[in-house]
Structure 1
């Protein structure tokens, strides 16, 4: 009887949608294919190089004590850039805490990301200006936010009108670890039930902190979608061209009123989960070295060079731009002012409650009990409590 049940399980289908091989060879796909201009290809390369520099610089800043934490995206640049560049201006994005490349593509100043991870504010970019929501730390919660927003878009009549400047799709980014959360599965239920115009974009980097994907799912993640009644597709997340093509198709499907899609971008976290993590404790060096051969930036560069789509001056220019961006981020981070201690009370409620006002007043009185004393002749300051 056990054999009978086992034989009824679907075969493990790991086929990826891929348009660019790790060696930089262009291939065609029968369902998902796009013709890219040289300008687009150079733009993808530039986006990935610059966002990798943002990531490397922020990691270094955290190691020097300038940031409290940083969530690395090393190795996931193609998944994020491809998905982001497939968006239209009116589309709305709900990120996790790792979508730095998506933020870049949506016009968010990376210094604002540093402010958040430095702890001087709770996110200062305007979500409505960029159609890019604030980072979500609670694992998987943003999928419900995205589904609710998509249902609102649907009820506002901004789906299926045929107007390319009006029809809107919503994207929820999350990781393979978050796919085990109840919030994500609830979002799938609501999105399917109401045919919401949302794309669930899962970056499967194969490690939920220290848990490998095989301990979370016995089937490929994209095939979970069929159980909820909407399509899923697995794309090579290290292939920016394929990621763009698949996401573009899923977004258009949502805008046309055909409902949700689950996109599983199969990629790899070459860095740590965050800067508090030591991945050498739970994964093999050989595994990381294997995935370095699939580097998303290297394959695009190989394709561009092989086809004569850019010269050495272009690549040198992007490298110089990345260096200047790193210097800018470093200087801007060092110059960030500390917030007023009382500002912690300002963003709790839209209208401050009497209880919160009383807490703020009490904390202000506590701060007033200290005085700053300058040590004569040395320019040094210290804070002392006033004797009561």
Structure 2
């Protein structure tokens, strides 16, 4: 069969989708009229009849607590980034700009719920009682995660893109099979992933199984606009939340820089799942203000103007402004939060500097539950090779 000549691209044709597809993608992934928002970037509280009831209990003290969460999580993130730059961590995955999306969702979870993170959910970890010091071992290479997933309701970090969607779906199916859906003690599962993960097969398989078995799982996509170096228009032609329609369950887009809206939408979605009406897809429309990881250079693929635009939507600033102008909160509170964040940063640094330096044999530890002759042989060969260099045995 011959191929028509007009199907064959020119040799010097630029890579990527046609221009009209790119433009359609840009229009399709704009914030749009369906965005749920309760607190504007200017700090103004606006009415939202569909979701106001889900945050009716959030008084001044509760909003102050949410603000404190975001400030402390941001400070821990900035300190960990500095530690990596100083050679104390092998890698760090910044969450700068996504604090509201994570704290809002994390505080919506109940004790019996289960959360499945990717590798950036430091804010959700904070909400589930995982101390920031427990995250450092992963990025220093001393452990695979220092917390108990059962006790915290927070699974270990998942490095493989999108794989946690399968794990979360399976866990949620188990919740349904065990009769933990419906009633006052009902549970739900929440799965966190980024916009880039929506192009992975594991995510779509999770969607399919969750839909077929009515699994009580909230798929929480933090759309931070960049899948490492690929923008949204290279991922989809339609807004991500609308993909849920193809699987037969609800999808909703929320302002991911609005902690109040993220809390309200997450509470609604989790209750839907606990009541047996799951699954639900939430797209938290936010922005990654820092690099994908500390090994990434975002200046190579995105414009400074874009970053400056999103700075105006900072999730912490809108809450601070509302607390001051709308609720009359004074400087004493903000000074106290700043002091707490300084103390957390100092404690995080001291803990990191006191951690052991992992030896080269560490990468072979705890790979299998049982001893493996093949792995032992690989370890011995590698350590002999390592020791053959000057100072290699140190």
Whether 2:330 is the aligned partner of 1:311: answer yes
**Which residue matches 1:84?**
106
5+ unaligned residues in a row in structure 2: which ranges? 1-20
Q: Is the 8 A contact 1:121 1:339 kept in 2?
A: no
**Which residue matches 1:297?**
316
Q: Is the 8 A contact 2:386 2:392 kept in 1?
A: no
Q: Is the 8 A contact 2:105 2:263 kept in 1?
A: yes
**Which residue matches 1:119?**
141
Whether 2:150 is the aligned partner of 1:128: answer yes
Compute the displacement of 1:338 (Å).
2.4
Compute the displacement of 1:366 (Å).
4.6
Q: 1:274 to 1:129 in 2, by over 3 A?
A: same
Compute the displacement of 1:59 (Å).
0.8
- In 1: Cα distance, 2:230 partner to 2:33 partner: 20
Q: Is the 8 A contact 2:60 2:327 kept in 1?
A: no
5+ unaligned residues in a row in structure 1: which ranges? 1-5, 371-381
**Residues 259-338 of structure 1: pairs in structure 2 closer than 5 A:** 259-338=278-357
**Which residue matches 1:143?**
165
Q: 1:334 to 1:354 in 2, by over 3 A?
A: same
- In 1: Cα distance, 2:143 partner to 2:279 partner: 34
**Which residue matches 2:69?**
47
Which residue among 233, 252, 271 is the counterpart of 1:214?
233
Query: TM-score by structure 2 length?
Result: 0.87
Q: Which moved more, 1:167-176 or 1:209-218?
A: 209-218
Q: 1:327 to 1:31 in 2, by over 3 A?
A: same
Which residue among 251, 256, 263 is the counterpart of 1:237?
256
CA RMSD of aligned residues (A): 2.2
**Which residue matches 1:376?**
none
Compute the displacement of 1:346 (Å).
3.8
- In 2: Cα distance, 1:48 partner to 1:254 partner: 26
C-alpha distance after superposition, 1:92-124 (max 9, x if no partner) = 010011000111111111112111111121112
**Counterpart of 1:104 in 2: which secondary structure?**
helix
- In 2: Cα distance, 1:266 partner to 1:353 partner: 45
**Which residue matches 2:36?**
17
C-alpha distance after superposition, 1:137-194 (max 9, x if no partner) = 100000010000100111111111x12xx21100110000001111101110000011
**Residues 149-160 of structure 1: pairs in structure 2 closer than 5 A:** 149-160=171-182
Whether 2:132 is the aligned partner of 1:110: answer yes
C-alpha distance after superposition, 1:235-258 (max 9, x if no partner) = 000000000000000000001111
**Which residue matches 2:86?**
64
**Counterpart of 2:293 in 1: which secondary structure?**
coil
Query: TM-score by structure 1 length?
Result: 0.88
Q: Is the 8 A contact 1:236 1:266 kept in 2?
A: yes
Q: Is the 8 A contact 1:14 1:220 kept in 2?
A: no
What is the number of residues matched between the two proteins?
A: 362
- In 2: Cα distance, 1:101 partner to 1:50 partner: 9
- In 2: Cα distance, 1:178 partner to 1:324 partner: 35
Which residue among 94, 107, 110 is the counterpart of 2:116?
94
Q: 1:368 to 1:159 in 2, by over 3 A?
A: same
Q: Is the 8 A contact 2:84 2:90 kept in 1?
A: yes
